């Protein structure tokens, strides 16, 4: 069962927002899976340390970009963001970004995005990649870039061959990922 809300995770990721309440906190920040989060002490951008905790949807999107695609080129990271947003817009998935990211719960191999149910800390450890994920998440939410996946709802790494992929139409290969949407009849 989840211990803290997404806002608490955001607060743990952005401790500068909690200076006033930190003195009254007796324990270490805890993720939604109950794992202790390390506290980031520096930021290299002026605004990311302020906005994300106020916007849990951006935080969920940026975490998904970070964990699913941080080693990908920016186009691959935007593609992961767009799949997440395409799912939000689809009646087949939850109607919020956090709902899409957390779909399936914590049980291993039941969640939609493997990082969510792998039992590891969700705390971003690579600051540059984290700030890039936030920037790309903001761009995706503002729809500043066209959808490079052409409406994809699914993707997988090119080196795996999931059986479900045969039931869908491939729309793109971007970086290490292949993207799919339902076959149109």
Domain ranges of the chain: 6-182
Count of Cβ atoms closer than 10 Å to residue 136 Cβ: 25
Distance between CA atoms of residues 77 and 124, nearest Å: 15
Residue 178 clears pLDDT 80, i.e. is over it: yes
Residue 139 clears pLDDT 50, i.e. is over it: yes
CATH of domain 6-182: 1.10.10.2520
Residue 81 clears pLDDT 50, i.e. is over it: yes
Neighbour-count burial of 155, counting CB atoms closer than 10 A to its CB (0-12 exposed, 13-18 middle, 19+ buried): buried
pLDDT in tens, 94-119: 999 999 988 865 666 666 777 777 77
Distance between CA atoms of residues 31 and 18, nearest Å: 15
pLDDT classification of 54: cutoffs 50, 70, 90: low
Q: Say what the pLDDT of residue 132 is.
A: 96
pTM > 0.75: yes or no: no
Distance between CA atoms of residues 133 and 44, nearest Å: 13
Share of the chain above pLDDT 70, in %: 65
pLDDT in tens, 9-43: 444 444 332 222 222 232 333 334 333 333 333 33
């Amino acid at each position: 069962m989840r211990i803290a809300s997404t806002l608490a995770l955001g607060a743990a990721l952005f401790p500068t927002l909690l200076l006033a309440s930190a003195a009254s906190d007796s324990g270490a920040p805890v993720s939604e899976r109950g794992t202790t989060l390390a506290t980031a002490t520096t930021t290299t951008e002026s605004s990311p340390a302020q906005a994300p905790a106020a916007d849990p949807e951006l935080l969920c999107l940026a975490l998904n970009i970070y964990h699913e695609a941080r080693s990908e080129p920016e186009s691959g990271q935007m593609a992961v963001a767009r799949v997440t947003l395409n799912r939000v817009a689809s009646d087949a998935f939850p109607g919020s970004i956090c709902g899409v990211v957390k779909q399936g719960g914590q049980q291993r191999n039941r969640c939609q995005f493997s990082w969510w149910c792998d039992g590891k800390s969700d705390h971003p450890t690579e600051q540059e990649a984290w700030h890039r994920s936030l920037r790309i998440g903001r761009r995706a939410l503002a729809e500043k870039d066209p959808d490079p996946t052409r409406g994809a709802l699914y993707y997988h790494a090119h080196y795996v061959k999931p059986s479900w992929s045969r039931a869908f139409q491939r729309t793109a290969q971007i970086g290490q990922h292949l993207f799919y949407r339902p076959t149109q009849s």
